[in-house]
Amino acid sequence: MKKIVWIAFTCLMFNKSFSQTPKTYSSADILQQLKKLEVFGSVLYIAAHPDDENTRLLGYLANERKFRTGYLSLTRGDGGQNLIGDEQGIDLGLIRTQELLAARRVDGAEQFFSRAYDFGFSKSPEEAMKIWGHDKILSDVVWVIRKFRPDVLITRFPTTGEGGHGHHTASAILAGEAFEMAADTTKFPEQLKNGITAWQPKRLLWNSFNFGNNNAQSDDRLKIDVGMYNPILGQSYGEIAAESRSQHKSQGFGVPAQRGESFEYFSTIKGGRPLKDLMDGVDLSSKRMKLNGEATAGYNQFVDNLIQQYNPSHPAKSINRLDSLYTMLQEALFINKGIEMGKLSVINELIASSAGLFMEAGVASQLNVLGDSVRFTVSFNNRLGLPVEMAQVSIYGTTQIFDKPAAGNINNVISGTIYIPKEMTATQPYWFEYPMQPGAFEVRKQEWIGMPENIPVTALFQVKINGHMYNFPRPVIYKSTDPVKGELYQQPQLVNPAFVNANPSLIIFANNKKNQKRSVDFTVQSNKDLNEKISFKTRFNGYSKVIYDSVTVFNKTDKKVFTLELNSDSFTVNSTSYLFGQLEAASFVEAQMFSLTKIAYDHIPNIYYNYLQRPRILKMDLNIAGTHIAYIAGAGDKVPQALIQMGYQVTMLNEKDITSANLKQFDAVVTGVRAYNTNLWLSNVQQALNKYVKEGGVFLVQYNTNNGAGPLRQKIGPYPFTLGRNRVTDETAAVNFLMPNDPSLNYPNKITQKDFEGWIQERSVYHAENIDSNYRRVLSMKDPGEKESDGSLIIADYGKGKFVYTGLVFFRELPAGVPGAYRLLANLLAAPVSKKATKKTK
């Protein structure tokens, strides 16, 4: 089998249909899509985050009204919280991107994003737009409007702030500005090429909701029932909405299905006010194609005949009429480039589904190595035995012809081998291609902006039926079979010849600890067979050290661990250093030595991205009291790893481990973020935890929530308090010491204002409220323009021990290497001064 150089593309990319069986149309689905061909109209919904969208309305617009419907989320939700794991930042944004795409597959809308980075909760739109870059994100919204060409824009939030989040309000403000600018050819003129033209939507509406005492859903506003049942889909829009909403699993947003009437209300922000319908004054007919009357009538007649004569038992009988309709739309597109091109791809897919054709292109491995070969397989099955005269597929620059395309329900399979040049670039989400700018991702290709993910690599199947040639693109996939889950589909990836991953990624030395030893393990995985000289060296503080240099045999997927010993004496006090690991071999391009991150959950496709891992070494002034910490995991965080670096021995506990006898061995017990929200069994062991404190232990509870996303169902702490929604989002907010002599600020580390420097994203979340007088309120802080809040850290002595509740975001600051967060946490874990002596960091 000859090798084929991989020249058809620059990188393998994501596709929204992976990790599950690719979508095929049933007879009912085909009928639903045929009915959509009758309607020319589009709506773009705009908000700030994944999960902000109104899934009931999107499902109604896309399926009942049959409009082309889109959702523009300004951010990917990077700054949110994670209920299913410990991913934060860009990792969480990748997860939420895929969850949003899963939601769109349910409700039928399309998905778009701007370049804005979700930097966390914001209390003002001015802050949001300043950090994002107002003009940059405005240009993105204008671009999506010009490209999508919506008749109506709808915002989820008002411009007046009642959305409760600066990002929410900013999304509405930017939508209003873009509504005007999208039609102005002097605004962002660089966008107006390659068929993109200025565009003026008919109106901008706010999908209003009630807040406080303000009734935004009065009958003087446009009111639409979106709760009806769709017999073709077999669901009501409340049921579709619940399924769509429940895709946001990282946010804990599973909701029950609803049935019956459900009304949505709309206020007019710009443009003509609709009296009876969202689309008042908008031509939804084929007249928008601007053809002559005869051609327009011909289109209407074609679609009407298609629907009337459609036979769900024999959908293939519609192929010829679909072919004629496709030709008509192609002619219309030639005359008027403003026509919805989406209908052409819909008709094309309807032809493939009606014909019952199975077409698939795949590779033998999900991870395909630069400079190596990979086997591919293409399959074609004429399942209905139609008179197929010819079938071929173009893949990776070659054309493969199937031998027996006319044979009914016979698998035609062709395999081959391709070579991937080592000079190519590994797969990377397009918004990671360049270093992120402050507040926004750097995307330098205009055509990429707005896209939810990378364009998938496709194989082009060409099939001739009854003398007509059809083109059917299909994504290249990787398919595997799991004995429990069955057949799984994933996106193939181009990967580097080797990965270099370091553990741990953060090392802490204490200033006053001499000759302290720590080690870093560099795990090198080879993705191809090697038998040559390799060298592994590390670099830090301007020095390079070779720790391996020899001829080595590497079998594909082999892993070798290279260990670097570090001594605290090599680092200056109060310093931050970065460590690099570099593998060198003749087969490798040096720049390709990156770490590979894999994010895997059952509900989304596997996610991969490359990054240059640089383990960080912090040397700081740090003392600890106590040595043995118990940790009860919550929704997911990386605090246990930080505790180990501080010098503690950490033991993870589950329900059966939490007994009065077992807890006695620990100096402190810590719960992970949202532990009381995610572990309902904590109520069963609360008595044992209280007894542990009473007998001299320290029990520290990190933040929990008391809302729909994570309702609190049990009591926390020995004395009463409640959890509110107050938070301090300004990471530079002044922190006031209300009790400067409290042990928590003095033992074993003297806490000063310097310890609150360098914090990231925010100070504190979900503060305590209605606090019993037995608690000490140690700190206060506030965001600009707000009242001081003293609920971020409360401490109660109980018996011989102490209980701590804190909303301080240790789960963000510790992985980020903020020294003050480590010092303060050590104090909170320390028993009262009179109870135990100080122990220096090991």
Condensed to tens digits (0 to 9), the pLDDT of residues 433-475 reads 999 998 999 999 999 999 999 988 899 999 999 889 999 999 9
Q: Give the side-chain half-sphere CA count within 13 A for 306.
A: 30
| Local structure of residue 109 (DSSP, 8 states) | -
Residue 673 maps to a domain:
yes
**Considering only CA atoms, which of 406, 410, 377 is closest in space to residue 391?**
406
The CATH number that applies at residue 517 is 2.60.40.10
The three-class DSSP label of residue 87 is: coil
Beta-strand runs (E) in 370-485: 373-382, 388-395, 398-401, 411-419, 458-465, 468-482
Question: Would you place residue 537 in the very low, low, confident or very high pLDDT band (cuts 50, 70, 90)?
Answer: confident
pTM confidence score: 0.86
**Lowest-confidence pick of 102-116, 275-289, 476-490, 710-724:** 710-724
Return the pLDDT at 329: 78
The CATH number that applies at residue 420 is 2.60.40
Are 564 and 425 part of one and the same domain? Answer: no
pLDDT at 194 over 70: yes
Residue 455 maps to a domain:
yes
Domain count, the chain: 4
Residue 334 maps to a domain:
no
Are 503 and 377 part of one and the same domain? Answer: no
Pairing relation of β-strands 801-806 and 616-620?
A: unpaired
Return the pLDDT at 564: 87
- Residue 178 in contact with residue 142, Cβ under 8 Å? yes
Residue 12 maps to a domain:
no
Mean pLDDT of the residues in the chain: 89
Return the pLDDT at 434: 93
Are 441 and 409 part of one and the same domain? Answer: yes
Give the max Cα distance, the chain: 95
Secondary structure of 727-743 in HEC code, one letter for each residue: CECCCCCCEEECCCCCH
Return the pLDDT at 807: 97
Are 382 and 264 part of one and the same domain? Answer: no
Cα distance from N-terminal residue to C-terminal residue, the chain: 60
Residue 32 maps to a domain:
no
**Lowest-confidence pick of 161-170, 287-296, 774-783:** 287-296
For the residues 507-511, what does the mean pLDDT come to?
94
The CATH number that applies at residue 702 is 3.40.50.880
Distance CA 301, CA 465 (A): 24
Are 769 and 634 part of one and the same domain? Answer: yes
Are 407 and 511 part of one and the same domain? Answer: no
Question: Would you place residue 119 in the very low, low, confident or very high pLDDT band (cuts 50, 70, 90)?
Answer: very high
**Considering only CA atoms, which of 810, 818, 823 is closest in space to residue 637?**
810
| Local structure of residue 701 (DSSP, 8 states) | E
- Residue 77 in contact with residue 50, Cβ under 8 Å? yes
Give tens-digit pLDDT for 53-82. 999 999 999 999 999 999 999 999 999 889
Question: Would you place residue 8 in the very low, low, confident or very high pLDDT band (cuts 50, 70, 90)?
Answer: very low
Distance CA 793, CA 775 (A): 10
Residue 307 maps to a domain:
no
Cis peptide bond upstream of 740, omega within 30? no
Of 455, 479, 495, which closes a domain?
495
Between residues 184 and 12, which one has the greater pLDDT?
A: 184
Are 217 and 74 part of one and the same domain? Answer: yes
Distance CA 458, CA 455 (A): 9
Those residues whose C-beta lies under 8 Å from the C-beta of residue 212, and which sit 6 or more positions away, are 162
Between residues 840 and 369, which one has the greater pLDDT?
A: 369
Cis peptide bond upstream of 492, omega within 30? no
For the residues 790-799, what does the mean pLDDT come to?
97
Based on DSSP, count helices (H) and strands (E) in the chain, helices before strands.
16, 44
Are 279 and 412 part of one and the same domain? Answer: no
Return the pLDDT at 285: 84
Radius of gyration of the chain (CA): 30
pLDDT at 332 over 90: no
Looking at the DSSP assignment, which residues form a beta bridge with residue 465?
388, 468
- Residue 761 in contact with residue 119, Cβ under 8 Å? yes
- The type of residue at 627 is T
Distance CA 394, CA 460 (A): 5
Return the pLDDT at 17: 40
Residue 306 maps to a domain:
no
Residue 293 maps to a domain:
no
The three-class DSSP label of residue 681 is: coil
Question: Would you place residue 291 in the very low, low, confident or very high pLDDT band (cuts 50, 70, 90)?
Answer: low
Are 711 and 822 part of one and the same domain? Answer: yes
Between residues 539 and 241, which one has the greater pLDDT?
A: 241
Q: Two tokens at 281? A: 């004054």
Return the pLDDT at 23: 77
**Lowest-confidence pick of 7-11, 583-587, 784-788:** 7-11
For the residues 219-237, what does the mean pLDDT come to?
92
**Lowest-confidence pick of 226-240, 276-290, 618-632, 633-647:** 276-290
Of 477, 495, 513, which closes a domain?
495
Return the pLDDT at 4: 36
| Local structure of residue 792 (DSSP, 8 states) | S
Distance CA 841, CA 628 (A): 12
Distance CA 486, CA 106 (A): 21
Are 274 and 371 part of one and the same domain? Answer: no
Return the pLDDT at 18: 46
Return the pLDDT at 589: 62
Those residues whose C-beta lies under 8 Å from the C-beta of residue 833, and which sit 6 or more positions away, are 743, 747
Of 466, 495, 524, which closes a domain?
495
Between residues 617 and 713, which one has the greater pLDDT?
A: 617
Return the pLDDT at 334: 55
For the residues 392-416, what does the mean pLDDT come to?
93
Return the pLDDT at 535: 78
pLDDT at 20 over 60: no
Are 486 and 511 part of one and the same domain? Answer: no
Are 605 and 669 part of one and the same domain? Answer: no
- DSSP-H helix ranges across 115-234: 125-132, 134-148, 166-181
- The type of residue at 841 is T
pLDDT at 696 over 90: yes
Return the pLDDT at 421: 85
Could you give the percent of the chain with pLDDT greater than 70? 91
pLDDT at 689 over 70: yes
Return the pLDDT at 757: 97
Domain of 393 in residue numbering reads as 357-495
